[in-house]
Structure 1
Amino acid sequence: MPTARIFGKSSLEAQRETARLAALERLDILDSPKDEGFERIVRLIKEIFTVDIGIVSLIDAHRQWYKACSGFAIEEMPRQDTFCRRVIECEDAIIIQDTTKDSYFSAHPAVTGPDHVRFYAGMPLKTRDGFTVGTVCAIDRRPRSFSSRDVVILQELAGACMDRIELLESAATDSLTGAMTRRAFKKEAEQFISLARRHQHDLSCIALDIDHFKNVNDSYGHAVGDQVLKAVVAACKATLRAGDLLGRLGGEEFAIILPHVDRQDAIAVAEKVRERVAALEIPSEHGIIKVTASFGITSLSIVGKEIETLLAQADAAMYQAKHAGRNRCMSWNTVQADHPTGARRRVLKAGAIIFNNRRSTMDCTIRTLGSDSAGLAVSNAIGIPPEFVLAIKGEGFETNCKVIAHDRQHLEVAFA
């Protein structure tokens, strides 16, 4: 197998980035639901410093993801386009009082374009073991000064963010919907799987994602989006048994564990939930809101015997359902027919997608990894060919891949 390039990083830098991503993965906070504690912090940033924009962000291998943001209407952006990548690189605060006079950022599109960014203060979010996993930022559209006292205040706000992250690690229930949190869901799912394997009974997993949920938030606002989320969870709970598990894994992403249920019966359960969601009529000040969801189903098997593998399989089937038109259920068994794959583990690794006879590359984050397959996150899957080379940066690993399922920001690939 050919050796991957390190893509401009020294071996020491690549090792540090690998360890940083591992620290971020242990927090298990990427793509988690919005949280009022962080929303309050970004509002405080704007009030305390009298700036236009406050941000709390986490940065993985390919993007900056906003855990909370006030003043920007976006939820993430490619890592290479961000100011905050410099904070990650130097692992220290960066203050730019006038971006037009900064040699590094004066030509940045956020400076020269309509965003008109003129001031930036970024403070690292550091774990207890010293890894910079994200940033707390104050941004303004006017040049301005930032005193040593301001730096201390921003540092304290960064500390409050890390305290909040640690507090959320122990939460079992999502405060908005009443579903289990991602960490609690996975922990209890592992116990259910262990019992199923020990006593040799069936168990199935369903992944579901609300279709076009971003359009709901953009068109009607986040308050209506919250109503939709609560209504969908209520519809799920009304269909499921008391002993089933329901977890909120991301903003509009949920998962279900069905003990003592085989694949065929799980498909029937998913169809009932799908129909119940599609029948919802959610009242709002804008009138009745209707939504649908896409579902992926898989079951315990010789290969799928850990929660990460089951979730990866269910996700792949769900992405296939979205690709096929949404508002439908798809079984992993159907996806697997053409591309059988083995077990996966959850990781957070820096990857590169290489195509066009090695003339084109795209950064990605490897989210799950097995000996014959992987789950990748990208800023935008448009333009990525059905076959490419995947490199794990800094590990000397490359392999040919085929896309087996995808949506706009996720790829499920089998190694060729």
Structure 2
Amino acid sequence: MRSPEIPANEKERLEALHQTGLLEPGASPAFDRLTRLARRVFQVPLAMINLLDEHTLIVKSADGSAPETVPRNISFCGHTILCEAPLVVEDMLRDDRFADNPLVAGEPGVRFYAGFPLRLRDGASVGSLCLIDFRPRTFSADDLAVLSDLGALAENEFAAVSAATTDDLTGLFNRRGFNLFVQFTLSSARRRAEPLTLGWLDLDHFKSINDLYGHEEGDRALKVMASLMRASFREADLLVRFGGDAFAILFADTDEKGAWIAMQYLVEQVEAYNARRLHPWTLAFSWGVSEFDHQGDDVQQWLKCADENMYAMKQQRHGAA
């Protein structure tokens, strides 16, 4: 088996992928339509749209039975992102790169693969639209043209997701929105010699809301949390849903002590909302704050520090629930 090579622009490729918002969890109706169509058109048991993160292939959408993730070093799509044209292997057992791959030699016994490399607008190859069959098959020039057409549609959807700066469910900024505005905010704070503090919060026991009451109630809980954040903080503060049940607040002209007071106010507002008993669930969250060190410029370390402070509270309260 030949593991896929790492692209020469891997650092830039990963940065571009992480900024798109494509890695955020949640349903992907547009991508699901494309995989359904691909499976039906080519009459294969499995069609997928995948993303290649640093160590993992992440299945963004699948029509057919597929795992959520695959180790990158045994993924077929790890090879596809290295290609300018689609990668087609009509019989995996006859290809030295894949014949003894555990996904070929063992379960599920893949024999045919066709993958279209999916790129962002800047040219970064971040994933694939691929077809899987468990028997060898031929793939004609017409088939290749149709796969390329579907790949172009998938890339258009990538561009639409990448361009969005707000979260569809809550209306808050999303991860991409944060990434676009944070550098401007930092530069402005430096020029004015103003403090800047990041608040990070994570809902407690959110999974149990989905499990006990359904995802519709889970979505309602997220929207209520976003509404309480808007009511609790200033218009100058940047409110972000980072994905899942994680939120962030960028407190302008605020030191860590001020951000702590603001977060305590949000706690009070959430408790007051819960007292109204409008839902079968109650909201609870753990949180942390971190003031930016203007002597440095490491935004990722700043995020990590706020997240670690939040996680310490979660562990103390709930054993990392």
TM-score (norm 1): 0.62
8 Å CA contact 2:81, 2:118 repeated in 1? no
Instruction: Give the one of 20, 23, 44 matched to 1:31.
Output: 23
* Amino acid in the other structure paired with 1:188: F
Give the deviation of 1:154 after TM superposition: 1.8
1:318 corresponds to: 310
Q: Distance in 2 between matches of 1:101 and 1:212?
A: 49
Going from structure 1 to structure 2, the CA distance change for 1:94 and 1:111 (only over 3 Å counts) comes to same
1:61 corresponds to: 54
Instruction: Give the one of 78, 87, 102 matched to 1:85.
Output: 78
2:224 corresponds to: 231
1:192 corresponds to: 185
Q: Distance in 2 between matches of 1:105 and 1:129?
A: 30
8 Å CA contact 1:211, 1:327 repeated in 2? no
SS in 2 for 1:122: strand
8 Å CA contact 2:174, 2:243 repeated in 1? no
More helix, by proportion: 2
Give the deviation of 1:206 after TM superposition: 1.2
8 Å CA contact 1:119, 1:139 repeated in 2? yes
Identity %: 35
8 Å CA contact 1:20, 1:133 repeated in 2? no
- Establish whether residue 209 from structure 1 lines up as the match of residue 209 from structure 2: no
8 Å CA contact 1:190, 1:306 repeated in 2? no
* Amino acid in the other structure paired with 1:121: A
Moved more, 309-318 or 178-187: 309-318
SS in 1 for 2:166: coil
TM-score (norm 2): 0.77
Going from structure 1 to structure 2, the CA distance change for 1:190 and 1:20 (only over 3 Å counts) comes to closer
8 Å CA contact 2:16, 2:124 repeated in 1? no
- Establish whether residue 44 from structure 1 lines up as the match of residue 37 from structure 2: yes
- Establish whether residue 295 from structure 1 lines up as the match of residue 287 from structure 2: yes
- Establish whether residue 149 from structure 1 lines up as the match of residue 124 from structure 2: no
Q: How many pairs align?
A: 314
SS in 2 for 1:249: strand
More strand, by proportion: 1
* Amino acid in the other structure paired with 2:254: V
8 Å CA contact 2:121, 2:159 repeated in 1? no
Going from structure 1 to structure 2, the CA distance change for 1:18 and 1:291 (only over 3 Å counts) comes to farther
1:177 corresponds to: 170
Instruction: Give the one of 262, 269, 273 matched to 2:262.
Output: 269
Give the deviation of 1:179 after TM superposition: 1.0
SS in 1 for 2:81: helix
Moved more, 319-328 or 243-252: 319-328
Q: Distance in 2 between matches of 1:307 and 1:229?
A: 26
2:116 corresponds to: 123
Give the deviation of 1:79 after TM superposition: 0.8
Give the deviation of 1:124 after TM superposition: 0.8
1:19 corresponds to: 9
1:241 corresponds to: 234
Unaligned runs of 5+ in 1: 1-7, 329-406, 408-416
SS in 2 for 1:169: helix
* Amino acid in the other structure paired with 2:193: Q
What per-residue deviation string (whole Å, max 9, x for no partner) do you get for residues 159-198 of structure 1? 2222222333332322222111222223333333333333
Going from structure 1 to structure 2, the CA distance change for 1:132 and 1:192 (only over 3 Å counts) comes to closer
* Amino acid in the other structure paired with 1:299: E
Q: Distance in 2 between matches of 1:80 and 1:282?
A: 49
* Amino acid in the other structure paired with 2:309: A
- Establish whether residue 258 from structure 1 lines up as the match of residue 251 from structure 2: yes
Give the deviation of 1:310 after TM superposition: 3.0
8 Å CA contact 1:87, 1:123 repeated in 2? yes
Unaligned runs of 5+ in 2: none
